[in-house]
Amino acid sequence: MSAKDAPMLDAEPQQNEGRSREASGRNAETSESERLFARAMLLARAAEVGVEAAGSCRESGWKGDWLLLLQALCSLTARQAGAGDPTPLFTAERLRDEIASILGAPEALWWSDDSDSVRKKFANAWKALENDFNRLDGHLRGRAMKNRVAGQIVLNAPARPGTTNAMGYGLSVRPIELPAAQPTVAQPSVAAEANRSGTAPLEITYQEEMEVYPIPGLKRPLKFSLPGWRALIVLTPIIGAVVAIGFLAWFLLTLWMSNEAPRVLFQWTILTGLVAGMIAWICHPFYVLINDRIVRAPTLLEATLPLGHVLVLRREGENRVLRMVRFTAKCPICEGDITIEKGRRRQRGRLVGECGRNPVEHSFSFDFITGKGRQL
C-alpha cells in the first residue's frame, strides 16, 4: 500500500492527543473545589458576624432562648465552615451542648440534660428563631457591611442528613452588595502617633444595635410607630408638664395671697418648687427629643441594660418611628468600647462617643444619620 493510498500512516503522531480533555476535567474539578471552599469561607465569616450580632442583642436586653440558639448555631457553623465544610449541619444535642458551654454553670443544666422538658425547650426555641429571625435582618446586614463581609446568614429549614433519623439544623449564606471600600484605617499605635503629629482627626464608624427591652417582664422592645395623630404621644408628657406646672403656680400664688404664717408659706413654696422641678426633669428629654430628634435614654430605662442607649425619632419608609437603640464602636486609639453619652465641658448640650477606658481624652463626635464620628 502506497503512502497515497494510506495517508494516515505518514501523519505525525499527535503527542498531546487527549490532554485537553484531561486538563479541562482537572480544571473543572479545581474550579468547583475552589468555589465550594470560597463559599465555606464566606459562610464562616458571615457566621462570625452572626455570633457578634446575637451576643450584642443579648447584652442590649433582648430576651428569648432563640438568641442563645442562634449564637450557638453561628458559633458551630463558623468553626465547621472555617474547616472547609460549605453546608454544615448539627443535631439538637450538639447545639444544646454548645448553648451549655456559652452559658456556663449553673444555667447550663437547663440545656445539657436529655429529658423531655429540655427537648421541648429546644423545639420552642427553634420555632421562636424561625419566627423572629427576620427581625435581625438590618442588624446582620449592618454588621456585615461594617466588617466588609459580602454575605449574610440565612436560616435553613431542618433536614435529615443522610439516612439518620436525627434532624440537622444549619445556616447558609446569601451574597450582599458592599458599599465602596473606605481608606484603610491605620493601626491604633500608628493612628495615635499620626494624630499627635497634627494630622487629620481619627474617624470611627458606629454600629447600631436595634430593639431593646428596657422594662423588666415586658417582652416587647421599645418601638413606637407614630403615624398621624399618634405623633401626639411624644407631646403628651410636655403638655401634661405645662398643665401641672401651671396648676402649681396658681396654687402657690393663691397661697401667697392668703393669711397663712410665713413658715407655712416657706414650706409650701419649697415643696411646690421641688415638685415642679421633678416634673420638668422628667419631661425634659421629650422636649429635647422633639427638637433634636435624638436624646440620651433616661437612666430609669437602662436599669437592667448596659449604658449608652438613646431615644431616636426618625422616618423609616412612610412612618415616623420612635426607637430605643444603642450605638457602639471600637476606639481606634486604645481598642476600648465607645458608647454614647452626654457631652461634658465644651461638648455640653450634644451627644458624643466616649471610650470606656479614657472617656475624657478619647471622645468622638456622633452623627446618628451617617453613623460616623471624628475625634474631638
Q: State the average pLDDT over residues 350-360.
A: 87
Whether residue 231 has pLDDT greater than 80: no
Highest mean pLDDT among 128-132, 160-164, 198-202, 285-289: 128-132
**What's the one-letter identity of residue 142?**
G
The DSSP secondary structure of 175-244, one letter per residue, reads E-PPPPPPPPPPPHHHHHHHHHTT-SPPEEE-EEE-----STT--S-SEEE--GGGGHHHHHHHHHHHHH
Residue 355 makes CB contacts below 8 A (sequence gap 6+) with 331, 333, 334, 336, 337, 338, 362, 363
**What's the one-letter identity of residue 127?**
K
Q: Is the pTM of this model over 0.95?
A: no
- pLDDT at 76 (0 to 100): 92
Highest mean pLDDT among 215-219, 257-261, 271-275, 279-283: 271-275
- pLDDT at 230 (0 to 100): 63
pLDDT tens for each residue of 46-101: 999 889 888 877 776 677 788 889 999 999 999 999 888 888 899 888 898 888 88
Measured distance CA(345)–CA(355) in Å, rounded = 16
Least confident of 181-190, 198-207, 302-311, 350-359: 181-190
- pLDDT at 22 (0 to 100): 47
Looking at the chain, the whole-number percentage of residues with pLDDT higher than 90 is 5
Query: Under the phi-then-psi rule, with left for phi > 0, alpha for psi from -120 to 50, and beta for the rest, what region is 275?
Result: alpha
